[in-house]
Structures are given as C-alpha cells and as structure tokens.
Amino acid sequence: MLQISAVVPVFNEEESLSELTQWISRVMHHHGFSYEIILVNDGSTDGSWEKIAELAEANGNIKGINFTRNYGKSAALDAGFKKAQGKVVVTLDADLQDSPDEIPALYEMIEKEGFDVVSGWKKERHDPISKTIPSRFFNAVTRWISGIKLHDFNCGLKAYKLKVVKNIQVYGEMHRYIPLLAKWNGFGKIGEKVVQHQARKYGYSKFGIERFLNGFLDLISVSFVHRYKKKPMHFFGLLGTLSFISGFLITCWLIFQKIYGLKNGLPVREIVDQPLFFLALVALIIGVQLFVTGFIAELMTSNQSKESEYKIDEEINFEY
C-alpha cells in the first residue's frame, strides 16, 4: 500500500507544476516514501492539462484528472480523495505557497501520533493585508461556530488518514471545513502544525474577497445540514408548530373579544377589520406550510443520496 497520496487542485498554474512535482518527488525519495501525486485540473484555460499529461508520462507516480469545466476547489479535492490510495492523504495548493518539505512531519503526526486530521497553520504569511485581515476574522468566527480550535481553516496544506477522506464528501465551498466534516463523521482527533508559507512565485491569486462571504454562507449551510439532515421535521415541524399555535391563539383572542363585547354591549370591531386577524391568518398558513415541508423532507431523506456534481473528461495513470 502506498504511504502518501498528494492531492493537488490545479487551476491555471501551468508555470508552477514542474517545480512543484519535482519538489514533492524529491522529498518523497529523500525520506523513502512510496507515493502518488494526483493533479486535478479544475477547468484551467491555460496549458495546465497538457503540462500534467507531460509530467505524468515522465513519472508514473504522477496521475491526472481533468474536469470538463471549472467546478471549484472542493470538487477537485473530492475527486482526488476518491482516487487516493495512500495511507496518509496530503493536500497542497499548486501555486508553490505550500512547502512539500512539511509533508514528512505531517505524515509522522498522522501515523505515529494518531491524529485523524492535521491542519497547517501559516503563522507568518506572505499575503497582502487585504487577504490577511479578512482571513483572521473568518478563522475567528469559524472557530467560534465550529468549536474546533484551529488558527487557519483556509490553509491548503493538510494531512488526513485515508479512511477520513473516504468517509466524507466535499462540495460547494466546503474544502475550508473538512476538519469539521471529519469531526462530525467521528474523526475527532484533529491537530495543527505551524507550516512555512512561501511567497507566490508565478501568476496571481485566483481567489477574491467573495470567497470569505461564500465561506460564511457555507459554514451556516454545513452546520444546518449536519444538525437537521436526518431529522428535518425537528426544524420545520418546530417552526411550523410555533407559527400555527401563535395564529390559533390570536384567533381565539379575537373571538373572545367579539363575544365578550357583544355580551356586555360594548362597541366591537368586526374580526375581519382588525390587523391581528390577518396576522393570525398568515401565521396559520405558514405554520401548515412549514409542517408539510418538514414532512416531505423526512420522506426525501429516507432514500436520497447526493451525486457528484462534477464531470471528469479524462484521467491519466490510474489503474483499475
């Protein structure tokens, strides 16, 4: 069995691929590791796929996956995880900002110290302040919501036991929350290691400020899905019941006012002329709709599975 699988998402990084794969191979040979490098071309518009094919032809340890279009980093990692065969799976970015020299230490933390996941922490970063400040804020909020005490959820350099990546599915922008997905799937021993952050050597960053907004939305999404995926009625049913009861109580109060006023000869407005009547009507309708939504969701979750959202055009050096 292979010792290490290096999974590298690639998006318009043609210039860095030769140096990156040589660097990884050099580290692997120096430490005597059996390995594979899985390069996942995420719809690059430059010559990245041609470069991957060239590298794979020269080195059988290099394997390539080519998407039909750009699906995002999460999809690229998910495809790589599905193909990985190493006892320890290490992820790196393709821009040379993650140092392959860190791989042996990450491997030791997984194999000898028994961690399920080890996340890199770029304590000293070579990024502009426009990236570092939003990143710190993002990480602080993510720590608070997830309960996982990591300093750098965005770091692309991470290591996992093989069984971890085989038991999680990464989609959307969930690559930032793989430690959280691992924890929710029973792999709770999560460590952290300070890693070297390299200055970008080629090209420019492919990620803008919108990734942080998308990240927050995905954190809310993954938290909600984890809590209510198997019991949607607990969420929709509760809200629906509260809404229905509120509408019912308001209706009872309006009827009581009407009867009490008629009995005592007091001036009473018609029920349908009062704003509270329409509020009660809306609450009753929403309550029923939410309850039915929860019931339908329960039926759907009993037999629904999520299919891969990406399409693979070509693969290189994979044996079946």
Are residues 216 and 127 part of one domain? yes
* 133 located within any domain: yes
Are residues 259 and 146 part of one domain? no
Domain range spanning residue 8? 4-228
Please give the distance of CA 165 from its chain centroid, rounded to a whole number.
13
Are residues 249 and 201 part of one domain? no
Find the angle CA(73)-CA(74)-CA(75) to the nearest 5 degrees. 95
* 198 located within any domain: yes
**Which is it for strands 35-41 and 4-10: parallel, antiparallel or unpaired?**
parallel
Are residues 193 and 245 part of one domain? no
Are residues 204 and 250 part of one domain? no
Question: CB of 28 within 8 A of CB of 4?
Answer: yes
Question: CB of 4 within 8 A of CB of 86?
Answer: yes
Give me the pLDDT at residue 59, please. 94
* 307 located within any domain: no
Are residues 128 and 195 part of one domain? yes
Give the span between the Cα atoms of 149 and 140, in whole angstroms.
9
* 19 located within any domain: yes
Residues of 257-288 as b/e, b for ≥16 C-beta within 10 angstroms? beeeeeeeeeeeeeeeebeebeebeebbebbe
Q: What is the CATH number of the domain that holds 124?
A: 3.90.550.10
Give me the pLDDT at residue 126, please. 58
Give me the pLDDT at residue 176, please. 81
Are residues 171 and 72 part of one domain? yes
Give me the pLDDT at residue 216, please. 66
Q: Which helix (H) or strand (E) element contains residue 40? A: strand 35-41
Domain count, the chain: 2
* 243 located within any domain: yes
Question: CB of 106 within 8 A of CB of 78?
Answer: no
Question: CB of 141 within 8 A of CB of 172?
Answer: no
* 109 located within any domain: yes
Q: Position 171: which residue type?
A: Y
Q: What is the pLDDT along the chain (320 residues), one digit of tens a residue?
A: 899 999 999 999 999 999 999 999 999 999 999 999 999 999 999 999 999 999 999 999 999 999 999 988 989 999 999 999 999 999 999 988 889 999 999 999 999 999 999 999 887 765 556 566 667 777 787 788 777 888 888 788 999 999 999 998 887 777 888 888 888 888 989 999 998 876 666 655 555 555 556 666 666 666 666 666 667 777 788 888 899 899 999 988 888 887 877 767 767 677 777 888 889 889 889 988 888 887 777 666 555 545 566 778 788 888 75
* 314 located within any domain: no
Are residues 286 and 180 part of one domain? no
Among 211, 228, 245, residue at a domain's last position: 228
Q: Count Cβ atoms within 10 A of the Cβ of residue 11 and give its class: 0-12 exposed, 13-18 middle, 19 or more buried.
A: buried
Are residues 108 and 25 part of one domain? yes
In angstroms, the Cα distances linking 175 to 160, 180, 236, 243, 260 are: 13, 10, 28, 36, 62
In sequence order, which ranges of the chain are alpha helices (DSSP H)? Answer: 14-31, 48-58, 73-83, 103-111, 129-146, 162-165, 178-184, 210-228, 232-263, 275-301
Among 182, 209, 228, residue at a domain's last position: 228
Are residues 115 and 50 part of one domain? yes
Are residues 295 and 193 part of one domain? no
Among 228, 246, 261, residue at a domain's last position: 228
Are residues 179 and 110 part of one domain? yes
* 45 located within any domain: yes
Give the span between the Cα atoms of 288 and 27, in whole angstroms.
62
Give the span between the Cα atoms of 93 and 155, in whole angstroms.
9
